[in-house]
Amino acid sequence: MTESERSRVVKSGAIVLALTLSIFAASCKKKVPPPPPPPPVTNTPPASTSGSNRAVINSFTAEPSSIERGQSSTLRWSISNATDMSINQGIGAVQSQGERQVFPTSSTTYTLNASGPGGSDSRTVTVTVSTAPPPPPPSATGPRLSSADMLQQQAQDAFFDYDKSDVRSDARDALTRDAALLKQIFAQDPNFTVVVEGHCDERGSAEYNLALGDRRATSAKDLLVQLGVPADRMKTISYGKERPQCTDANEACWQRNRRAHLSPGQ
Amino acid sequence: MKIPVLSTSIVLTLSTLTYAQIKRDINKPGEKPAIAVPDLRGAGDAQRLMITFNSTLFSDLQNSGQLKMVPKTVYPLQVPQQPADFHPPLNGRPQGAWLTDWSGPPVNTNYLAFGYTAVQNNQIVLYGWLYDVAQPNTGSAQLIGKVYLGSLDESGVRKIAEDFGCDIVKQFGGACLSGSRIYFQSNRSGHKEIWSMNYDGSDQKQFTDYRSITDFPVVSPDGTKIAFTSYPLLPSSRAAADALQSNIQKPRENLGTPQIYVHSLETGRKLVYYNQQASMNAASDFMPDSRHLLIYSTAGGGFSQIYMTDLDGGGLHRITHSNALEVEPKVNPKTGSSMVFVSGRGGTAQIYRMNIDGTDVTRLTTGEGDAANPSWSPDGQRIAFAWTRGFEPGNYNIFIMDIATREIISQLTHGAGKNENPVWAPDGVHLVFSSTRGRSTQIYTMLADGTGVQQLTTKGNNEKPVWSKGTQ
């Protein structure tokens, strides 16, 4: 990964994080705690005043009385001495005992009418419907960094001396950190594989550098295996001097190009 | 071959005469025989092709390295077109054109090439002669008198010029380059691919279209096959590579490890080659039988080592067993019994020689600098190679070494850019190589004494030339 690619990845990660935080903050501010549900309607029947034939609604409740759109509420009722019983809002005639699930899309008041030879009774219950907040948009890269991004952002190159493929102490340090990173990535992503690339500076012949880059990749891989990284998750490839990081003819650039580099496998 | 006779008065010998074969040592400067090559003319419709004919013949003879070209400005006004145009002096008085017009001052040539072309049966026909003008009469002067036929177009006239030039060069112990072809790697299409061209740089053609990294061509001695090394583009990234071909920011390509490819040069098609399971397989040389390949590979694990395989990759046979990088095996084309190669076994990359079975390893270069790219002369006695001796790492120059004595015969380049991959021409007199002496890497030819440098390529960067004698 080049410098500009790396900074682009870092930048896009930051944008995703900022976006997630802002959505969270916004929804915190807007979200009003839902009002406590009204107590279930449990009107006690009025005392019978005119004989036993009068229709009486013993109970008419909606549970829960407050729902979000798309959810349901259950109406329950109990009626005595009625011959004619119905609920409005399209429900129609009902029995003296019963329940019915309703799916109101907005706040609705249901009226239960009961009548009998000795008189009639009527009760209402209201189901309050609130609109649910929209679900958060899917994030661009998922909730955590992908394995490939982790590798590209955090893996360190191991650098080599001119015409050498043995691992220097600074390269050993880099590869030790890489080994820990790889173990973490492999633990979270069981299908992930890594390519260990070997690169050379521009000075040797292309033919020799093909073999030298191969050897550098293998040296780096061997050390990673020693450090406990499973060998079957890593492949090596030599690019010789085909893929330089820079093309200046000075030691600073040559050193940047004499390296083993970890990239995501295919 | 039956040749129709056009003119009654000319007796043409149908093969080149051999009694006067002349061997000259080109390594002695100043002793090259001088030749005059006046422009030939064409009868009728043939004349329109004569500019191509004359420039091809002149440059082929000039570039042969065998001859000193006498400048056209000093030629006499009376230019013979056929033997009948020569008239010996009578009693010391000139009767027309004569041999001494050419052997004496100001021309002072040893040899004269002349003739003419005409159209016959819708073909172009060349009547060509080579005279040794120091001889007393035209009969003994004649070294070549021959008829050449070609198609009546640019390529046909180029062919007859090359064939005539070839016969002339052979008279002086040279070998013929006509029909030979240089294969090389170029990135001018946006990817490193294999290309080919004539040895004068004409007719440059793209041979591969793998669109990944394709490099290191080698051609079989019989001219029928080419092997090279390429990173296979794995299927999923093919479309991405097409889309992003010209992007400077390289897309993340899905490349496999370097593999050996063999193609037919007759059909252009890919032939079956089974690569070893290895992180690296690279083609390096064909054996003289054109039926085996020398490769370097990590098939045995560890360092790149030298192997031989059959043409289809079977019959793998390991030749080196070292803990060092071993690359670029090149077999002696004359004997097939020994090879030179590049090894890091002594520290820096140096050139070594060993028997074909891996025994009797000898270091050839002194251990100084980095050495690379050995190439055998066709006679199997010398190698040309690239070496940084006397320069900073990476600054290669071209050297020639005598294999028997291990002596450096000559250094042909001297620090003008990086000069790499010298490869001998089939004539044993020319070398092709790449150099960064300009602003980019380009392919050049030169004589084996370092003179006569000619640039063949200009577009993109061009490297890794090999010189095939063709299929004749």
The letter for the amino acid at A212 is L
Asked if A215 reaches chain B (Cβ–Cβ under 8 Å), the answer is: yes
Q: Where are the beta strands (DSSP E) in B269-337?
A: 270-271, 281-286, 292-297, 305-310, 317-318, 326-331
DSSP string, B421-458: EEEE-TTSSEEEEEE-SSSS-EEEEEETTS-S-EE---
Residues from chain A that touch B328, judged by Cβ atoms under 8 A, are 205, 207-208
Residue among B1, B71, B411, B388 at smallest CA distance from A205: B388
CATH numeric code, A56-130: 2.60.40.10
Residues from chain B that touch A193, judged by Cβ atoms under 8 A, are none
Reply yes or no on whether the pLDDT at B18 is more than 50: no
Residue A140: pLDDT band by 50, 70, 90 thresholds? low
Are B186 and B195 contacting, i.e. CB atoms less than 8 angstroms apart? Answer: yes
Nearest residue of B to residue A198, measured between CA atoms: B279
Residues from chain A that touch B256, judged by Cβ atoms under 8 A, are 237
Reply yes or no on whether the pLDDT at B134 is more than 90: yes
Question: In a 10 Å sphere around its CB, with 0-12 CB exposed, 13-18 middle and 19+ buried, how is residue A91 labelled?
Answer: middle
Are B434 and B461 contacting, i.e. CB atoms less than 8 angstroms apart? Answer: no
Nearest residue of A to residue B329, measured between CA atoms: A207
Residue among B378, B372, B370 at smallest CA distance from B463: B372
Question: In a 10 Å sphere around its CB, with 0-12 CB exposed, 13-18 middle and 19+ buried, how is residue A144 labelled?
Answer: exposed
| pLDDT of B288 | 97
Phi, psi of B420 (to 5 degrees): -135, 170
Residue A117: pLDDT band by 50, 70, 90 thresholds? confident
| Tokens coding A207 | 């033919």
B250/A243 Cβ within 8 A? yes
| pLDDT of A105 | 84
Residues from chain A that touch B275, judged by Cβ atoms under 8 A, are none
Reply yes or no on whether the pLDDT at B407 is more than 60: yes
Residues from chain A that touch B231, judged by Cβ atoms under 8 A, are 237
| pLDDT of B8 | 37
Reply yes or no on whether the pLDDT at B27 is more than 50: no
| Candidate from B250, B258, B463 with C-beta closest to A210 | B258
Residue A34: pLDDT band by 50, 70, 90 thresholds? low
Q: What percent of chain B has pLDDT over 70?
A: 89
Identify the sign of the CA torsion B458, B461, B466, B469: negative
Are B195 and B44 contacting, i.e. CB atoms less than 8 angstroms apart? Answer: no
| pLDDT of B26 | 39
Residues from chain B that touch A206, judged by Cβ atoms under 8 A, are 215-216, 463-464
Nearest residue of B to residue A249, measured between CA atoms: B394
- If DSSP codes are grouped into helix, strand and coil, which group holds residue A224? helix
Q: Which helix (H) or strand (E) holds A175?
A: helix A169-188
| pLDDT of B269 | 96
Which residue of A8, A194, A199, A208 to mutate against B (max B Cβ within 10 Å)? Answer: A208
pLDDT tens digits, B234-288? 876 444 444 444 443 444 568 999 999 999 999 999 999 999 999 999 999 999 9
Are B14 and B146 contacting, i.e. CB atoms less than 8 angstroms apart? Answer: yes
| Candidate from B215, B231, B255 with C-beta closest to A206 | B215
pLDDT tens digits, B344-400? 999 999 999 999 999 999 999 999 999 999 999 999 999 999 999 999 999 999 999
Closest CA of chain A from B338, distance in Å: 20
| pLDDT of A70 | 79
B463/A238 Cβ within 8 A? no
Domain ranges of chain A: 56-130, 155-264
Fold category of A155-264 in CATH = 60s Ribosomal Protein L30; Chain: A; (3.30.1330)
Cα separations in angstroms, B10 against B21, B83, B102, B122, B430: 23, 7, 21, 22, 37
Residue B453: pLDDT band by 50, 70, 90 thresholds? very high
pLDDT tens digits, A215-254? 999 999 999 999 999 999 999 999 999 999 999 999 999 9
Nearest residue of A to residue B421, measured between CA atoms: A205
User: Distance (Å, rounded) from C-alpha B259 to C-alpha A238?
Assistant: 11
Reply yes or no on whether the pLDDT at A168 is more than 50: yes
Residues from chain A that touch B370, judged by Cβ atoms under 8 A, are 163, 203-205, 208
Reply yes or no on whether the pLDDT at A16 is more than 70: no
What is the distance of C-alpha A125 from the center of its chain?
39
Nearest residue of B to residue A2, measured between CA atoms: B249
Question: In a 10 Å sphere around its CB, with 0-12 CB exposed, 13-18 middle and 19+ buried, how is residue B158 labelled?
Answer: buried
Domain ranges of chain B: 34-171, 181-468
Q: What percent of chain A has pLDDT over 70?
A: 75
Local structure of residue A52 (DSSP, 8 states): T
The side-by-side arrangement of strands in the sheet containing B430-435 is: B419-424, B430-435, B442-447, B454-455
| pLDDT of A187 | 93
Which residue of B213, B234, B322, B327 to mutate against A (max A Cβ within 10 Å)? Answer: B327
| Mean pLDDT of the residues in chain B | 89
**Residues across chain A:** 266
Are B167 and B146 contacting, i.e. CB atoms less than 8 angstroms apart? Answer: yes
Whether this model's ipTM surpasses 0.85 comes out as no
Reply yes or no on whether the pLDDT at B419 is more than 50: yes
The letter for the amino acid at B64 is S
Residues from chain A that touch B234, judged by Cβ atoms under 8 A, are 266
| Distance in Å from the first CA to the final CA of chain A | 15
The letter for the amino acid at B242 is D
Are A199 and A241 contacting, i.e. CB atoms less than 8 angstroms apart? Answer: yes
Reply yes or no on whether the pLDDT at B323 is more than 90: yes
Are B308 and B294 contacting, i.e. CB atoms less than 8 angstroms apart? Answer: yes
User: Distance (Å, rounded) from C-alpha A202 to C-alpha B153?
Assistant: 46
Q: What is the CA radius of gyration of chain B?
A: 25
| Tokens coding B201 | 């740089």
Asked if A236 reaches chain B (Cβ–Cβ under 8 Å), the answer is: yes
**Higher per-residue pLDDT: B195 or A49:** B195
Right CATH for B181-468 from 2.70.98.10, 2.60.40.1180, 2.120.10.30, 1.20.1090.10? 2.120.10.30
| Tokens coding A68 | 């979000």
The letter for the amino acid at B272 is V
Q: What percent of chain B has pLDDT over 90?
A: 79
The alpha carbon torsion through A239, A245, A249, A253 (nearest 10 deg) reads -110
Report the DSSP pairing between strands B68-69 and B34-36. parallel
B→A contacts (Cβ < 8 Å), by residue, are: 192, 213, 215-216, 229, 231, 234, 236, 249-250, 252, 254-258, 279-280, 282, 284, 296, 298, 302-304, 325-328, 342, 344, 348-349, 370, 372-373, 386, 393-394, 396, 420, 463-464
**A38-42, A47-51, B246-250, B317-321: which has the minimum mean pLDDT?**
B246-250
Asked: is B34-171 a CATH 3.40.50.10070 domain? The reply is: yes
Local structure of residue B394 (DSSP, 8 states): T
Reply yes or no on whether the pLDDT at A123 is more than 90: no
B249/A2 Cβ within 8 A? yes
| Candidate from B213, B284, B296 with C-beta closest to A242 | B213
User: Distance (Å, rounded) from C-alpha A229 to C-alpha A242?
Assistant: 28
| pLDDT of A15 | 52
Which residue of A3, A202, A205 to mutate against B (max B Cβ within 10 Å)? Answer: A205
Residue among B452, B367, B461 at smallest CA distance from B417: B461
| pLDDT of B365 | 97
Interior/surface letters B397-410, b for 16+ CB within 10 angstroms, e for the rest? bbbbbebeeeebbe
